[in-house]
């Protein structure tokens, strides 16, 4: 199980494309994916949950991944959350 | 019935007249039914069936929208498909069916309701807008459970104007243009999905009209004027007459253009002028081709950035560039690197004078990763059809273009080392939009493969006036002798050094502007797609050699109004057929 606090550099709550990308990638893996913010855990494979979570730029969220392919999964999802390269 | 004029935001040009059809989305009434234990599995099975059939509908819609309007717009539908498959929602529904022994429609409604409520009060318009996607999906699923499909927009038999509070992407995708002649929407702004899609489908549309529905009566006549951003309720006879005449003009023009689509933009004495299109969305490529564009003279890449509110990844950009390249081949596509102001790149950044500030290539050269990623994506995309070119905006000095060249070469080296294919002969050029650049065109012509004159900005910088400042907007004059000298300087430098030069600003599509620019020796004109046919008609009436006398005379004049007067006089005398275009 990998759990890490990540600073979001990608306005995932603000745009479809980012939420779709995160969810789509999450669904490609076997592992369980959860996001924790403001006192609640939401399933990372659920587009509606990710979209409504609201992850504005510079917010902090805990990403937790557990399963057989957790290493690859975590890496991929973390990258999406941190995609802004400036 | 009194005529009433309502104002809104013009989001898609054109005029439509028809009977008001009020489109109210309503979720089908859901009765709560108790399901006996023995039939629970059957109910779950019905639910899964409904999902499956709606998924099929949405997949078809996704393909259609992707094909007609581009992958970016189709993402809205993709969102609905993912929503349909969302395990959290599905588990919630099955739980209610099994544990509370209620029917699927009721269960689905319960689950969705809980997600929509918080979104309703979101301060972010984008989030509130997504509610319509969820409602649209819910409606389809509920209808499917009732054994019906969504058909409200398909049972039309007369010409209507669609009035709505809001429209889902699938709604706009499904509009039958034979019957729906225009769209009027209460909510929304210039860049939401309704604006993008009605523009892509060329359906006249106006949105941002508060209290539209409370003022509209179904069945009464209305006019949608997507050119002026106006809705007219109960138009009187005179008004109807005016608009019908306007529409007839447009119809006639279009008919003659489609006949003339295959004609070449070539002057009477044989000079060929390239006519290209300015675009921002993949979906506009089809329109460009339809209007006869033989290339994309300006592919603005800012939209790729602005629609995400973050830097697009290299993959995302690559996809865009490949799409446009493939759709336009064998014709060239000129991709302009991001031309954004610093405030778009760094949240919270603001300048007192953005027009003279940190934007365009200045941002690119300071935020190099940004520029490198874009160039890498363009190079990779260039491999397949070898029809891409790169253009750098807001250039004022030789050092800038040299720095760009260094970056370009280093990315090429990197790709070569990694054995990633790209077009080794890819050309790069610059936007000539600052006086510095135009005055030094001779030097730039030795480094670049082409120029594209950005007349809008060049005029503003040269005449020191902002178009959007009403106090000085009247000073903006494309025919001011000072600016004409800059066009000439640029074009002459290009000719002397054997590179081609085009114009991508508004002047390229203005009748008098076309005559001036062709006379000055321009090679290419790039404009909004629907103006290409007029440009072609004008070019075909001109004689380049005759125009040289016109130009000589123009260069002796001292005022913009003098130049315009002279040009109009020339048209009347030497190109009488064109007089009609000038009205």
B130 touches chain A (CB under 8 A): yes
Going by pLDDT thresholds of 50, 70 and 90, the confidence category of residue B583 is very low
Rounded CA-CA distance B407/B400 in Å is 11
Task: Tell me which of B161-175, B307-321, B326-340 is least confident.
Answer: B307-321
- Residue at A72 is within a domain: yes
pLDDT at B455: 94
- Over the Cα atoms of chain A, what is R_g? 11
Question: In which domain, by residue range, is A21 found?
Answer: 2-81
Kindly report the nearest CA distance between residue B371 and chain A, in angstroms.
10
Closest-approach residue (CA) in chain A for B311: A84
Residues of A in contact with B313 (CB under 8 A): 83
Which of B111, B118, B96, B6 minimizes the C-alpha distance to B43?
Answer: B96
pLDDT at B228 > cutoff 80: yes
B134 touches chain A (CB under 8 A): yes
Q: Could you tell me the two tokens for B454?
A: 């950005």
Interface test with A, best of B62, B75, B82 (most A CBs within 10 A): B82
CB atoms within 10 A of CB B373: 18
Kindly report the nearest CA distance between residue A20 and chain B, in angstroms.
7
Going by pLDDT thresholds of 50, 70 and 90, the confidence category of residue B481 is very high
- Residue at A86 is within a domain: no
Nearest to A20 among B82, B89, B126 (CB): B82
Q: In this complex, do B75 and A18 lie within 8 Å of one another by their Cβ atoms?
A: no
Q: In this complex, do A46 and B86 lie within 8 Å of one another by their Cβ atoms?
A: yes
Kindly report the nearest CA distance between residue A50 and chain B, in angstroms.
11
Task: Tell me which of B148-157, B291-300, B403-412 is least confident.
Answer: B148-157
Under a CB-based contact definition with an 8 Å cutoff, are residues B230 and B14 in contact?
Answer: no
Residues of A in contact with B87 (CB under 8 A): 43, 45-46
Q: Which residues contact B52 (CB under 8 A, 6 or more apart)?
A: none
CB atoms within 10 A of CB B348: 5
Strands (E), B467-548: 500-503, 524-527
Range list for CATH 1.10.274.10 in chain B: 29-147
- Residue at A55 is within a domain: yes
CB atoms within 10 A of CB B505: 24
**What would the pLDDT profile of B176-187 be if each residue is shown by its tens digit?**
888 999 999 998
Q: How many helices (H) and strands (E) in chain A?
A: 3, 4
CB atoms within 10 A of CB B274: 18
Which residue did the predictor score with more confidence, B225 or B152? B225
pLDDT at B153: 63
Q: In this complex, do B308 and A17 lie within 8 Å of one another by their Cβ atoms?
A: yes
Interface test with B, best of A15, A42, A47, A58 (most B CBs within 10 A): A47
* Mean pLDDT to the nearest integer, B293-304: 89
* Mean pLDDT to the nearest integer, B228-242: 95
Closest-approach residue (CA) in chain B for A10: B310
pLDDT at B582 > cutoff 70: no
**Angle, helices B532-541/B511-520, rounded to nearest 10 degrees:** 50
C-alpha distance from residue B449 to each of B256, B273, B405, B473 (Å): 36, 18, 12, 34
C-alpha distance from residue B442 to each of B493, B496, B498, B499 (Å): 5, 8, 11, 11
- Structural domain tally of chain A? 1
Going by pLDDT thresholds of 50, 70 and 90, the confidence category of residue B574 is confident
Residues of B in contact with A47 (CB under 8 A): 79, 82-83, 86
Is residue A5 within a helix (H) or strand (E), and if so which, with residue range? strand A2-7
Q: DSSP characters for B328-392?
A: HTTS-EEEEPP--BHHHHSTT---S-GGGSSBTHHHHHHSHHHHHHHHHHHHHHHHHH--EEEEE
Identify the CATH number of the domain defined by range B29-147. Answer: 1.10.274.10
Instruction: Give every strand in the sheet of A40-43, ordered side by side.
Output: A2-7, A60-66, A32-37, A40-43
Q: Is B204 helix (H, G, I), strand (E, B) or coil?
A: coil
pLDDT at B309 > cutoff 60: no
pLDDT at B521: 97
Q: Is the preceding peptide bond at B330 cis, omega within 30 degrees of 0?
A: yes
Kindly report the nearest CA distance between residue B306 and chain A, in angstroms.
11
Q: What angle do CA B111, B88, B169 make, to 5 degrees?
A: 70
Kindly report the nearest CA distance between residue A68 and chain B, in angstroms.
20
Under a CB-based contact definition with an 8 Å cutoff, are residues B375 and B390 in contact?
Answer: yes
pLDDT at B348: 63
B369 touches chain A (CB under 8 A): yes
pLDDT at B562: 96
Nearest to B309 among A15, A45, A85 (CB): A15
- CATH class given for the domain over B15-22+153-253: alpha beta
Alpha helices in B445-508 (DSSP H): 455-462, 481-496
Kindly report the nearest CA distance between residue B116 and chain A, in angstroms.
9
Range list for CATH 3.20.20.60 in chain B: 441-583
The size of chain A, in residues, is 86
Taking all residues of chain B, what is their mean pLDDT, rounded to a whole number?
89
Which residues of A are marked as active site?
15
* Mean pLDDT to the nearest integer, B147-167: 81
**What would the pLDDT profile of B445-463 be if each residue is shown by its tens digit?**
999 999 999 999 999 999 9
Residues of A in contact with B75 (CB under 8 A): 16-17, 20
pLDDT at B555 > cutoff 70: yes
C-alpha distance from residue B112 to each of A12, B58, B97, B160 (Å): 21, 18, 14, 32
**What would the pLDDT profile of B108-118 be if each residue is shown by its tens digit?**
999 998 888 87
CATH of the domain at A69: 3.30.1340.10
Under a CB-based contact definition with an 8 Å cutoff, are residues A10 and A18 in contact?
Answer: yes
Nearest to B130 among A49, A51, A86 (CB): A51
pLDDT at B172 > cutoff 80: yes
C-alpha distance from residue B362 to each of B221, B232, B312, B339, B352 (Å): 52, 46, 19, 9, 17
pLDDT at B389 > cutoff 50: yes
Strands (E), B246-352: 274-279, 296-300, 333-336
- Residue at A73 is within a domain: yes
- CATH class given for the domain over B441-583: alpha beta
Task: Tell me which of B199-208, B431-440, B477-486 is least confident.
Answer: B199-208
Contacts with A, B 52-81, CB within 8 Å: 75-76, 78-79
Q: Is B14 left (phi over 0), alpha (psi -120 to 50) or beta?
A: left
CA trace torsion B182, B186, B187, B188 (10° rounding): 30
pLDDT tens-digit profile, chain A (86 residues): 999 999 888 665 546 677 888 898 999 999 999 999 888 899 999 988 888 887 777 889 999 999 999 999 999 999 888 875 32
Nearest to B79 among A13, A20, A83 (CB): A20
Which residue did the predictor score with more confidence, B272 or B57? B272
Q: Counting one residue from A and one from B, how many pairs have CB atoms under 8 Å apart?
A: 75
Which residue did the predictor score with more confidence, B106 or B115? B106
Residues of B in contact with A16 (CB under 8 A): 75-76, 79, 130
pLDDT at B467: 78
Closest-approach residue (CA) in chain A for B313: A83
- Residue at A20 is within a domain: yes
> With b meaning 16 or more CB within 10 Å and e meaning fewer, what string describes B518-537?
bbbbbbbbbbbbbbbbbbbb
- Residue at A60 is within a domain: yes
**What would the pLDDT profile of B325-367 be if each residue is shown by its tens digit?**
999 999 999 999 988 776 666 666 677 777 788 888 888 888 8
Q: In this complex, do A48 and B75 lie within 8 Å of one another by their Cβ atoms?
A: no
pLDDT at B25 > cutoff 80: no
Under a CB-based contact definition with an 8 Å cutoff, are residues B581 and B515 in contact?
Answer: no
Complex ipTM value: 0.83
pLDDT at B122 > cutoff 80: no
**Angle, helices B481-496/B511-520, rounded to nearest 10 degrees:** 40
pLDDT at A58: 81
Residues of B in contact with A84 (CB under 8 A): 310-311
pTM greater than 0.90 = no
């Amino acid at each position: 199980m990998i759990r890490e606090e990540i600073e979001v550099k990608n306005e995932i709550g603000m745009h479809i494309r980012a939420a779709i990308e995160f969810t789509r990638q999450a669904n490609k893996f076997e592992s369980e994916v959860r996001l924790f913010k403001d006192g609640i855990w939401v399933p990372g494979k659920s587009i509606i949950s990710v979209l409504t979570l609201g992850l504005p730029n510079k917010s902090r969220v805990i990403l937790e991944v557990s399963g057989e392919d957790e290493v690859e999964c975590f890496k991929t999802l973390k990258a999406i959350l941190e995609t802004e390269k400036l | 019935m009194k005529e009433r004029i309502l104002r809104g935001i013009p989001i898609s040009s054109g005029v439509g007249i028809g009977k008001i059809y009020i489109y109210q989305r309503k979720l089908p009434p859901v009765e709560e039914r108790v399901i006996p234990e023995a039939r629970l599995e059957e109910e779950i099975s019905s639910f899964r069936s409904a999902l499956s059939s709606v998924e099929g509908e949405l997949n078809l819609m996704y393909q259609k929208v992707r094909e007609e309007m581009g992958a970016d717009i189709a993402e809205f539908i993709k969102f609905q498909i993912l929503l349909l498959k969302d395990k959290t929602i599905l588990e919630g529904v099955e739980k209610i069916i099994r544990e509370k022994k209620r029917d699927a429609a009721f269960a689905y409604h319960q689950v969705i309701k809980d997600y929509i409520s918080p979104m309703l009060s979101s301060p972010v318009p984008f989030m509130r807008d997504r509610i319509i996607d969820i409602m649209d999906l819910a409606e389809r699923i509920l209808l499917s459970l009732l054994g019906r499909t969504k058909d409200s927009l398909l049972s039309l038999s007369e010409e209507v104007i669609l009035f709505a509070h809001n429209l889902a992407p699938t709604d706009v995708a499904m509009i039958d243009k034979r019957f729906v002649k225009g769209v009027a929407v209460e909510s929304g702004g210039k860049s939401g999905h309704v604006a993008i899609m009605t523009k892509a489908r060329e359906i006249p549309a106006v949105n941002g009209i508060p209290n539209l529905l409370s003022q509209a009566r179904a069945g009464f006549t209305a006019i949608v004027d997507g050119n002026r951003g106006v809705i007219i309720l109960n138009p009187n006879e005179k008004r109807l007459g005016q608009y019908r005449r306007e529409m007839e003009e447009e119809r006639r023009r279009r008919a003659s253009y489609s006949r003339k689509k295959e004609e070449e933009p070539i002057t009477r004495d044989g000079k060929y002028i390239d006519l290209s299109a300015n675009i921002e969305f993949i979906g506009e490529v089809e329109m460009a081709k339809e209007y006869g564009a033989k290339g994309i003279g300006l592919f603005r890449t800012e939209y790729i950035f602005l629609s995400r509110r973050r830097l697009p990844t290299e993959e995302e950009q690559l996809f865009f560039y490949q799409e446009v390249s493939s759709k336009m081949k064998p014709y060239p596509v000129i991709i302009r690197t991001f031309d954004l102001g610093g405030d778009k790149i760094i949240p919270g950044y603001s300048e007192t004078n953005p027009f003279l500030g940190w934007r365009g290539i200045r941002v690119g050269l300071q935020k190099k990763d940004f520029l490198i990623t874009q160039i890498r994506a363009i190079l990779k995309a260039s491999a397949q059809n070898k029809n891409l070119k790169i253009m750098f905006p807001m250039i004022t000095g030789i050092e800038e273009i040299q720095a760009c060249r260094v970056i370009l070469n280093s990315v090429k080296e990197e790709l070569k080392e990694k054995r990633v294919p790209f077009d080794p002969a890819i050309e790069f050029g610059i936007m000539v939009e600052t006086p510095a650049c135009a005055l030094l065109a001779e030097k730039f012509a030795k480094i670049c493969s082409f120029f594209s004159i950005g007349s809008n900005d060049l005029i503003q910088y040269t005449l020191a006036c902002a178009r959007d400042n009403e106090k000085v907007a009247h000073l903006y004059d494309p025919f001011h002798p000072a600016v004409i000298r800059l066009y000439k300087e640029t074009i002459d430098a290009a000719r002397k050094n054997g590179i081609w030069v085009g114009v991508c600003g508004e002047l390229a599509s203005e009748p008098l502007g076309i005559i001036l620019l062709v006379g000055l020796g321009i090679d290419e004109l790039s404009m909004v797609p629907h103006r290409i046919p007029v440009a072609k008609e004008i070019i075909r009436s001109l004689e380049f050699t005759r125009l040289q006398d016109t130009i000589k005379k123009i260069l002796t004049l001292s005022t913009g109004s003098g130049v315009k007067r002279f040009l109009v006089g020339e048209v009347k005398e030497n190109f009488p057929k064109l007089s009609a275009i000038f009205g």
